[in-house]
Structure 1
Amino acid sequence: MAEGRGNRPHPQNLQGLLRLAVEASSASEGNPPPEPMSEERQQWLRSVLADMCQGGMDEVTQMKECLSVLRSEGGGGEGEGDGGEKEAALDLLCELCENMDNARDLMSLGGLEVCVGACLGAQGAGLRCRGAGLLAVCCQNHPEVQLHALALGALPTLLTLADTDPSTMVKVKALYAVSCLVREQEAGVRDFLSHDGFSVLMRGMQAETGSSGAKEEGREGAKEEDRLRTKSAFLLQSLLTSHPEHRDTLVSMGMVQQLVSLLRPPRCPFHEHVLGALCCLVNGFPRGMAACRDPALHLEELLNDRARQLKGKEECQEELEFCEQLLRSCFCPLDPEDNGMDR
């Protein structure tokens, strides 16, 4: 990718572009991991795309050629030659579909069917990861595309990946796609509930480094596990904020006890969202408050200890506010009308 634009051979078609992308990636990164494009690779792709557009290839034509690559036989496994071109095609589609009109065009071209039917079930983690990423980009804040993806059965497939995929990076990307399918989309929330999505989020928050059997190891593996826990907790908090009517179900399935168990030391960054979810479960909801007051949980002691640790740390202000809100709501109740969150 360090090769200047003037020295780079001009690709004659999109297949040539994808080969260049694979060669450049291989030269600079060895075997690229199944993760989003680096900023350097994005900039390189944009410059080559500019060359292609100057050559008269419009974006719809580029998407059609990418889909042709993805529909071709073979190349679905790790290390297979054509697999690199398919990953490059998905990278390019992600770049193009940042434009909402292109996302709609991709849907019209049958691109979501290819993504759900071929990419999410591919042998190679790189294809599964990028396929989930493409669905996320296309569906984010795009109701028409969301509904089409839901009709294709994308959500249960993504939940399965987020729950059981051997690659933590695939789990993280699949969970991101799930959030893009359920955000401000009632049909997505219903699908999420019918496939026990809350249990998937709980298992994501309980993930421990190395527990997934993924190839990622050491510091990078721990970072991905942290991302999985954080995204799971954030999505739970977000869903409870927008859909408080599901609190009774969650309290009945023992969610309060599970969340409190996650707060045990040592403190982790995702604890902020766990505390936020607990606040949503007790806000004006007596069953949630009663569950938090269970003496076996020792929650009052835990919250007091955590509040003392966080005081004076500006970067932890929101987490501290959640602790204080839970203490006021559950253990120092005010007027019955003043049990809500004050934020």
Structure 2
Amino acid sequence: MASSGENKDGSSSSTQRRYPNSMEGVLQMAIANTPTEEAASGDSQRTEPTPLDPERKEFLEKVFAEMYKDEVKEMKSLLEVVRLKMDSELEEDEENVEEALENLKDLSDTIDNAQDFHKVGGTQLLPQLMDHPRSEVRSRTFDLIANLVQNVPLNQKVMLEMGGIEKMLAAVDKDSSPTVRVKALYALSCLARDHEDCQRVFVEKDGFSVLMRAMQSDVEKLQIKSAFMLQAFFQMPTDFKETLFKMGMVHQLIGLLQLEHSPTHEFFMSALLNLVMDHQGCINDCKQPDLGFKEFLTAREELLKGKPEYEEEHSYCQQLMKVCFNGNHGSQTTIDR
């Protein structure tokens, strides 16, 4: 289960406090939260903060500007380490590259730094790093890319132009390291989630087949993250359900659910429920007698009933029965995703 403050897919809860992601935002926050003389003396009558005097504001601006310059300078230094040592086979150099990538990932956690990563030449190294012979380097690279592209249109565009989607799909599908496959899928999800051109290329490059195979893999994290990404496509303006219907995704998900019960089934069940909602063709697929899906749902409901740890899966099971076999086909059915 996800920790408090996070959703199951690792995204932040909407109830968490949002902090500024730029130096200007930090400065504004500092100004807004600076105690006034009245507050410091216990005078509760004055509730509005007093703006900083020009001298102190100028001082803070210089401090934040210096911090910002230091981070850009640090990124340049770390990228130089990667550039000079990425082809070395010395263990010390390999460790230095891995550490540099980890530090770059931390630095790129703000939109300003993520944009500057490209401006200082960092993205030029990414194609080679995604194909690096060391799995640890590939893994850290995809983790870094996830930070670089999430909500950063400039980097999304650059990654698309350099063939990043194709490389990510290949890593998800074929990499020898399960960890790399999971990290590549995470980066792919961050890249495609809010970018229509990336979604289009994802579909053109048969990305849904890659997700299907990932859900059929023996890597549990990969199965779960694939199901999450599949569901994310259902929330996008473009209707991808018809494509998935024609691919036989309903049959694939039902087949996965009919394997020995495991924790992944909650996510497959939720994905299937999202897929059939408001799509008569998918509903008709579920009704095919040779699948025995109604009987399966009846048995699965009985198996999960009264078990708190399977409460959500049990709810999805009941909703699928209503949508597919009780005539309740509309989107009024609640899906907690």
TM, length-normalised to structure 1: 0.74
Match of 2:273 in 1: 279
Correspondent of 2:106 among 95, 103, 107: 95
Structure with larger Rg: 2
Contact preservation (8 Å) 1:76, 1:123: no
Match of 2:261 in 1: 267
Match of 2:14 in 1: none
Correspondent of 2:73 among 61, 65, 74: 61
| 1:291 lines up with 2:285 in the alignment | yes
User: Quick one: which amino acid aligns to residue 333 of structure 2?
Assistant: M
Match of 1:24 in 2: none
Kindly tell me: are residues 84 and 302 of structure 1, through their superposed partners in 2, closer, same or farther at Cα, counting changes over 3 Å? same
Q: How many residues align?
A: 270
After superposition, give the CA deviation of every residue in 1:56-102 in whole Å (9 maximum; x if it has no partner): 9811111101111111255466x743111111110110111112211
After superposition, give the CA deviation of every residue in 1:313-336 in whole Å (9 maximum; x if it has no partner): 3343322221111111111214x6
Segments of 5+ residues of structure 1 without an aligned counterpart are: 1-53, 209-224
Match of 2:50 in 1: none
After superposition, give the CA deviation of every residue in 1:94-152 in whole Å (9 maximum; x if it has no partner): 1111122111110111212212x221010000111011110001111222222221122
Larger mean CA deviation between 266-275 and 95-104 belongs to 266-275
Kindly tell me: are residues 105 and 124 of structure 1, through their superposed partners in 2, closer, same or farther at Cα, counting changes over 3 Å? same
| 1:86 lines up with 2:97 in the alignment | yes
Q: Aligned partners of 2:140, 2:279: CA distance in 1, in Å?
A: 40
Correspondent of 2:152 among 124, 142, 149: 142
Contact preservation (8 Å) 1:237, 1:273: no
Correspondent of 1:132 among 107, 128, 142: 142
| Structure 1 SS opposite 2:333 | coil
Match of 1:176 in 2: 186
Correspondent of 2:208 among 170, 173, 198: 198
Q: Aligned partners of 2:279, 2:320: CA distance in 1, in Å?
A: 12
Segments of 5+ residues of structure 2 without an aligned counterpart are: 1-65
User: Quick one: which amino acid aligns to residue 212 of structure 2?
Assistant: M
TM, length-normalised to structure 2: 0.75
| 1:122 lines up with 2:132 in the alignment | yes
Matches within 5 A, 1:18-33: none
Contact preservation (8 Å) 1:206, 1:262: yes
Contact preservation (8 Å) 1:86, 1:127: yes
Match of 1:109 in 2: 120
| Structure 2 SS opposite 1:72 | helix
Post-superposition offset of 1:298? 1.0
Contact preservation (8 Å) 1:241, 1:280: no
Contact preservation (8 Å) 1:284, 1:340: no
- Flag as ranges the 4+ runs of structure 1 deviating above 3 A: 54-57, 73-77
Q: Aligned-residue CA RMSD in angstroms?
A: 2.2
Q: Percent identity?
A: 37
The one of the two structures with greater contact order (alpha-carbon pairs below 8 A, sep at least 6) is: 1
Q: Aligned partners of 1:72, 1:257: CA distance in 2, in Å?
A: 50
Match of 1:234 in 2: 228
Q: Aligned partners of 1:314, 1:68: CA distance in 2, in Å?
A: 52
Match of 2:316 in 1: 322
Kindly tell me: are residues 57 and 109 of structure 1, through their superposed partners in 2, closer, same or farther at Cα, counting changes over 3 Å? closer
Contact preservation (8 Å) 1:133, 1:177: yes
User: Quick one: which amino acid aligns to residue 145 of structure 1?
Assistant: N
Post-superposition offset of 1:260? 0.5
Contact preservation (8 Å) 1:71, 1:114: yes
Q: Aligned partners of 1:172, 1:315: CA distance in 2, in Å?
A: 25
User: Quick one: which amino acid aligns to residue 135 of structure 1?
Assistant: I
Q: Aligned partners of 2:283, 2:67: CA distance in 1, in Å?
A: 64
User: Quick one: which amino acid aligns to residue 252 of structure 2?
Assistant: Q
Contact preservation (8 Å) 1:75, 1:86: no
